[in-house]
Amino acid sequence: MKTFQNKKLLAALAMSSTLVACGSDSDSSGEEAMNNAPVHGGNIVRTFHEKDAFEMLYLLGTPEGKESGEGIAYDPDGDLMSVRKFEADTDDLTGFDVQGTRIGVRPAEIAPFLDSGESKTVTFSYKINDGKSTTARKMTVTITGEDAAPEFSDLEVTFTKFDGLVDIDLLEGVVDADGEPLTISDFAADPSNTVDAHTLLENIKSLDIDSFSDLVAIGEELVLKYSYKVNDHNNSLVRNLTVKIRGVRKEPLPPEIVSTYAGTFTTNDNVEVVDLAHSDYTVEWNGDPVLVDVASITPTNGGPALKFNKSMGSVLVVDPVDFGRYIENVGDTETFEYAFKITDGTEGDTAGHVVDTSFSVTVTKEAPANLILNGSFEDGLNDWTADGSMVSVADSATAWDGAKELSASGWSELVSSSFEVTAGGAYHVSYAEQMGDWGRYNLHIANGADNLITRSFGLHPTFAGPWVDYAIRSLSFEMPIDAAASTREVKIETALNKVDDVQVTRYSTDNSHNLLWVNAGSASVDFEDGTQAAWGGDNIAMSAIPDEVVSGDHSLVISGPAWVALPAGTVQDAKKYLLKLEIKQLEFNQSFGNIVQFQIRDASDWTAFYANPLEHPRSIDLLATPIGEVTTFQQVIDPSRVGQLSGWDTRNIVIEINPTIWGAPGKVAIDNIQLIELD
Single residue among 204, 222, 246 that ends a domain in this structure: 246
Specify if 377 maps to a domain: no
How far apart are the C-alpha atoms of 459 and 238, rounded to whole Å?
57
Cβ within 8 Å of residue 663, ≥6 positions away? 589, 590
How many domains are there within the chain? 5
For 349-374, letters b (16+ CB in 10 Å) and e give: ebbebebebebbbebbbbebeebbeb
Half-sphere exposure of 261 (CA within 13 A, CB side): 23
SS3 content of the chain, % helix, strand, coil (to 5): 5, 45, 50
pLDDT of residue 10: 37
Mark whether 548 and 589 lie in a shared domain.
yes
pLDDT averaged per 10 residues in sequence order, the chain, 679 residues: 40 37 38 78 93 90 93 93 93 90 89 83 95 94 87 90 90 84 92 87 90 84 93 90 87 91 96 91 87 95 93 95 94 97 89 94 96 95 87 92 92 88 93 76 84 74 57 89 88 88 95 93 94 93 96 95 93 90 84 74 75 44 78 85 78 89 83 91
Question: How many beta carbons lie within 10 A of that of residue 168, not counting itself?
Answer: 18
279: three-class secondary structure by DSSP: coil
How far apart are the C-alpha atoms of 602 and 595, rounded to whole Å?
22
107: three-class secondary structure by DSSP: helix
Specify if 79 maps to a domain: yes
Mark whether 215 and 294 lie in a shared domain.
no
Mark whether 483 and 516 lie in a shared domain.
no
Q: What is the DSSP string of 511-565?
A: GGGBHHHHHH-THHHH-TTSS-TTEE-TTEEEE--TTT-SSSS-EEEESS-EEEE
What CATH number is associated with residue 240?
2.60.40
On whether the CB atoms of residues 475 and 426 are closer than 8 A, the answer is no
Single residue among 310, 330, 364 that ends a domain in this structure: 364
Mark whether 345 and 425 lie in a shared domain.
no
296: three-class secondary structure by DSSP: strand
Specify if 369 maps to a domain: no
Specify if 5 maps to a domain: no
On whether the CB atoms of residues 263 and 362 are closer than 8 A, the answer is yes
Mark whether 242 and 283 lie in a shared domain.
no
Specify if 652 maps to a domain: yes
Mark whether 69 and 214 lie in a shared domain.
no
Specify if 646 maps to a domain: yes
Mark whether 502 and 522 lie in a shared domain.
no
What CATH number is associated with residue 92?
2.60.40.10
What CATH number is associated with residue 577?
2.60.120.260
pLDDT of residue 22: 35
Mark whether 497 and 515 lie in a shared domain.
no
Q: How far is CA 519 from CA 36, 508, 565, 574, 648, in A?
A: 86, 17, 9, 20, 16
Phi first, then psi: give them for residue 611, nearest 5 degrees: -150, 135
Q: What pTM did the predictor assign?
A: 0.67
Short-list 613, 603, 609, 580, CA closest to 650? 603
Mark whether 520 and 629 lie in a shared domain.
yes
On whether the CB atoms of residues 202 and 182 are closer than 8 A, the answer is no
Question: How many beta carbons lie within 10 A of that of residue 26, not counting itself?
Answer: 13
Q: How far is CA 307 from CA 101, 206, 511, in A?
A: 67, 44, 6
pLDDT of residue 149: 85
Specify if 378 maps to a domain: no
Mark whether 91 and 194 lie in a shared domain.
no
How far apart are the C-alpha atoms of 450 and 218, rounded to whole Å?
53
How far apart are the C-alpha atoms of 610 and 644, rounded to whole Å?
7
Specify if 260 maps to a domain: yes
Mark whether 327 and 421 lie in a shared domain.
no
pLDDT of residue 8: 35
Single residue among 460, 476, 506 that ends a domain in this structure: 506
How far apart are the C-alpha atoms of 412 and 492, rounded to whole Å?
8
How far apart are the C-alpha atoms of 310 and 271, rounded to whole Å?
10
Question: How many beta carbons lie within 10 A of that of residue 96, not counting itself?
Answer: 22
How far apart are the C-alpha atoms of 679 and 676, rounded to whole Å?
9
pLDDT of residue 593: 67
Domain extent for 291: 256-364
Short-list 128, 123, 121, CA closest to 139? 123
Cβ within 8 Å of residue 42, ≥6 positions away? 63, 71
Mark whether 19 and 139 lie in a shared domain.
yes
